[in-house]
Structures are given as C-alpha cells and as structure tokens.
A and B are shown apart, each in its own frame.
Chain A
Amino acid sequence: MSVLVFIEADNGVIKKSSLEAVAYGSKLGEVTAVAMGSIDASELASVGKYGASKVLHCSDDRLNDGVISATAKLIAEAANQAGTETVIMSRSSLVDAVAARVAIKMGASVVANVQELPDTSNGFVVKRGVFTGKAFAYVEVPEGKKVLTVTKNVVPLEESGSEATVEEISVAFDDADFGVKRVGVHKQEGDILLPEADLVVSAGRGMKGPENWQMIEDLASTLGAATACSKPVSDMDWRPHHEHVGQTGIKVAPQLYIAVGISGAIQHLAGVNSSKVIVAINKDPEAPFFKAADYGVVGDAFEVVPKLIEALKNNQN
C-alpha cells in the first residue's frame, strides 16, 4: 500500500506533528509527502528520516496564505499523481478545514481525530476521540480510498531512513480555488503554539485579573511552555480566545499541563485530559481539578507560583 502524507511547516521548519504523520504513514506503507509554500528543499528532504521516500512540493506563492480550497485541490491531485488511496494528515487549523474537501475530491471515506495506528486484522478499524475527550470509539472504515486526520503524539518519532527526493508538483488551480481572500492576519509571532506545545501553563479566575498574568508568563518562559487559560478568563477578555482550553476551545495533549487557579469544571477537563501529566495548583482543597490531576498543590497561586519558578531555576542551574 502507498500512503500520501500532507506536511506543514511553521516559520520554514516542518512541524513535529507533521513528522509524526509521516511516521504513522510509514507504518502503513510507502510514504510520499506533499508540502506547499516557502520551505527549503533541504528541510523538505529531511522528512525522509521519518519514512518518506519522496516529497511533492507545490511552491506556488498563493498557497502561503493557507487557502482551504486550493490546499484541498493540491492534496487530492498529489494523491492522484502518486497513485495513493490513503491520505494521512496531522490535525491543525488548516487540516481540520481541508480534510473533508480532500475526501470529496478523491471519493474517499474520511475519519477525523484518529488516536492510534489502525487495526487491520479484520478490515480497517481506527480508534478516535469522541464526546470531547470523554470517550473513545472504534470505527470501521470501508474498503477503498481513505482520508485520516491524526492527533498529536499519535506515534513516537524515531529517525531511521535517509533523505527524501523532492519534486515540484504543478496543479491547475482556477480562480474558485482562491475564492476566500485573506485580508489580514493577527498572530503573535515567536510564541510557542499551544496545540503543538509539549509543556503548557494554564491559569484561571484564581489569578483575579489580567494584570497578574506576568507570573504565569514567567513560569511558562522558565519552562519553555505555552500559555493557556480557562473559558471564563477568555470570556472576560483577560486573555485572547486562542488560549482558551476546554470543551469549546482548544484541546491540548502536552507532556505536562500545569493548571493554576482553575477549579477544574468538567468542560475544562474535556480539553486537557489527553495530557500525560497534570499538576493542579489551587487554594481550594475541594477543587475538582485535584481528582483529575497527578500532582496537586493546595495554596495561594501568588505564593506558590514564584516558589515554583525559583525551584525550576535552581533545578536548571
């Protein structure tokens, strides 16, 4: 079986989650990767180390804007040219918007939010997250073409192969593929992207106001972590919406999630329960977060957080 994997870059560097998708694909068959926009050929060739033999690259500048319809056309065309029936992509804001359109263009079945390698002992069965992180389902995908979107950490990364060959792919785009015009981008440059982060420091109403966020940012920068927040905090505009973690916000799956002054409502936990290790810091010993956490500290955030920063700095020295 041959597999097509769509890979994305952030600031010219292939995302770790895309490399995981390549590694996932390589467990299923021979991988061709497809990429777009401004990425160096040497960076593209490096995905060979994770199992791709070839990279199809569409360098059309118009694709730098993350346009949904045109990206879908590129991926479907790449699958066609590579003769692959299975397309794998790691979830991102672009992939989540594109996967469905790729499936229709290919005449494929589509499954989103896949957590593990498929069970192919009897058909093709995948495990996916349902009920917003509160459960999993095993789903049978019919024979034939398939599009799967996979979650972060879906398989461990190991370097084994050599460099991939890189080829330009040309796609006959038409105006309709660029029907959605980007007129502005508002993005904090240089921050660690929350959905990609391995370490996350999150804070809630216990911080009492946006003016007190400096210590959360200090804790995050000491760790090299991304910052996040609870829904009330984003609703009150203390923090931007793209930091809101929970049932109706971002779902994170870091190695470590530190929750400061967040009570742990079921809706918040739905966004964080894929974290490997959770630390809850709360002055209320009855806070529900302590039931979902691995480590708990009962105490005032304004006293505990500076001590934690100091302890981390001592550990680093």
Chain B
Amino acid sequence: MKILVCISHVPDTTTKIKFADNKLDTNGVQFIIGPYDDFALARAVEIKEATGGTVTVLNVGEADTEPSIRKALAIGADNAVRVNAVPTDSLFVAQQIVEHAKSENYDMILMGRESSDYNSGLVHGLVGELMGWPSIAPAMKLEVDGSTAKLSREIEGGHEDVEVAMPFVAGCQEPIAEWKIPNMRGIMMARKKPLQVVEPVGVDGVTTYKTFELPEEKGECKMVDAGQMDELVGLLKNEARVL
C-alpha cells in the first residue's frame, strides 16, 4: 500500500486568534499538525503497519513548517515532501499535491476534512477531481479489503457506509483513528528520514485574502437566578425574541 498524507500546519486549537498588519499575529502561537490531518496520518500509519507499504507526507508551507513535518515522520511516515510556498488558496494547494502525486502511483491520498485555519474543506474534492479519482469526506472509518476500501462517511443525522475501489482521496475526521504521540525512537529515526523540498507550480484562478476581522465582542452575560426559570423564558421570548 502506497499512501500519501497531506498535512497542514496550523495554530493550536486553544489559540486566541489576533491579527497584526492584516495577517495572523503569530507571536506566542504554538503551531501543530492540523487536528483532522493528524487523524488521517494516524490511520495511514496503522494501515501501513497492517499491510506493509509506505506513507509519504506532503505539506505546502515555508521552512517554518518543518517541525510539523518532522513530527509526522516521528509518528511513522517514511518520507516527506515540502512544497516551498505559503498555502493561501485551496486550489493552489490542491494543484501542488496533484503535481507531486500524478507520477507516484499512490493507492490513496488522505488528509483532514478541512484545515482548522482556513476551513475551506475543499482540497480533497479538488485533488480527487483533478486526479480523476473518487473523493470521500468526511470519512470517520477506513478499512482496506484487498483492492477495495470500506469507509464510513458522516451525513446529517448519522453516517453512510460506502465502498470504493482504489485509488481514491479521503478527507478524514475522528474517530477514524486515535492520534499518535511520537516515541523517542520515532523522534530519533525521523531526523534521518528523507525530506524533499520542491518549488511550487503556478496556478490560475486563485482567490486572494484581502483583510481579516474578529467577531463582535459579546455583551455582558445577563445572570438569572436558578429558581426563576419563568424569568428566563420571559427574557428569551420578549427581549431576545428567539422563542
């Protein structure tokens, strides 16, 4: 099994988002592998351990993303590719992935359902269509049975079970696997694993981020005594007008 896992490099989920000079203020921000991508990586490593093969990780990012790539190698990926560019647009990222993947004969391309910074959730579908492969997201379960993959996909109010012949693309989410924590041996080995840096290809039709803004601050929370639920219902009905 030959698996490509695409990872993003994003602010930790507890980060309080601020902007400076019209971009993310990274001062004091801890960066992590995208939480959804981390699930995809964990499942890819499990599949490799069960069936043999290789796991390649790909990240579109500048040199500051290498700690996340090394962490992915420490978790169990075999080699890595970094496309040296700022990932500003889903189509731009998807084209970089396709440029790498089209000559590699992967059996599957896995990634998170979305990155937790830009949240477009488009890259798996874009890569699937560009490769001419099926794409499935959000995938909550992935089992390999010969040349067929069995996945569970979340839908409103539940999930559907699907089967697809390889190759395919999946955008993953929990509970597809448990996040893996690298051990000392993994961290030592990761230093020697190959990390190839390639320059990006040009892409037409990309969108441009102009400005950012934060949501309006909530006003003061109005406290209601636990014994006065009639008062709360009255407020929701007459003041907030939501009942």
Q: Which A residues contact B (CB, under 8 angstroms)?
A: 10, 66, 68-69, 72, 92-94, 96-101, 103-105, 107-113, 125, 129-142, 144, 176, 179-188, 191, 193-196, 199, 223, 240-242, 247-248, 255-256, 266-267, 270, 273, 276-277, 279-280, 290-300, 303-304, 307-308, 310-312, 314-315
Contact = CB atoms under 8 A, between A and B. Distances in A.
Interface of B: 11, 13-14, 16-17, 19, 24, 35-36, 90-91, 94, 116-126, 128-130, 132, 134-138, 140, 150, 153-165, 168, 171, 173-175, 205-215, 218-219, 221-227, 229-230, 232-237, 240, 242-243
A135 B223 contact: no
B237 A110 contact: no
Given A105-B129, A109-B91, A314-B230, A92 B156 contact: yes
B13 A97 contact: no
Given A93-B156, A97-B136, A279 B236 contact: yes
A100 B125 contact: yes
Contacts of B155: 66, 93-94, 185, 187
B233 A294 contact: no
A131 B208 contact: no
Contacts of B226: 297-300, 303-304, 307
B175 A141 contact: no
Contact of B161 (A134, A183, A308): A183
Contact of B233 (A112, A187, A188, A312): A312
B111 to A, nearest CB: 12
B224 A295 contact: yes
A308 B225 CA distance: 12
B20 to A, nearest CB: 13
A293 B221 contact: yes
B47 to A, nearest CB: 19
A35 B200 CA distance: 38
Nearest to B240: A277
Contacts of A199: 242
Given A292-B218, A295-B240, 19 more contacts: A69-B135, A100-B128, A132-B116, A135-B212, A136-B215, A139-B210, A142-B206, A176-B132, A179-B134, A180-B136, A186-B159, A196-B156, A247-B13, A248-B116, A256-B240, A266-B14, A270-B13, A310-B229, A311-B229
A307 B229 contact: yes
Nearest to A226: B157
B164 A179 contact: yes
Contact of A72 (B117, B129, B242): B129
A49 B193 CA distance: 61
A141 B213 contact: no
Given A187-B158, A314-B230, A112 B122 contact: yes
7 contacts: A72-B129, A96-B137, A100-B128, A105-B129, A188-B158, A256-B240, A276-B242
Contact of A141 (B135, B158, B207): B207
B220 to A, nearest CB: 9
A310 B230 CA distance: 9
B117 A130 contact: yes
A184 B158 CA distance: 11
B157 A191 contact: yes
Contacts of A295: 221-224, 232, 235-236, 240
Contacts of B171: 97
A180 B139 CA distance: 13
Contacts of B162: 180-183
B157 A242 contact: yes
Contacts of A181: 162-164
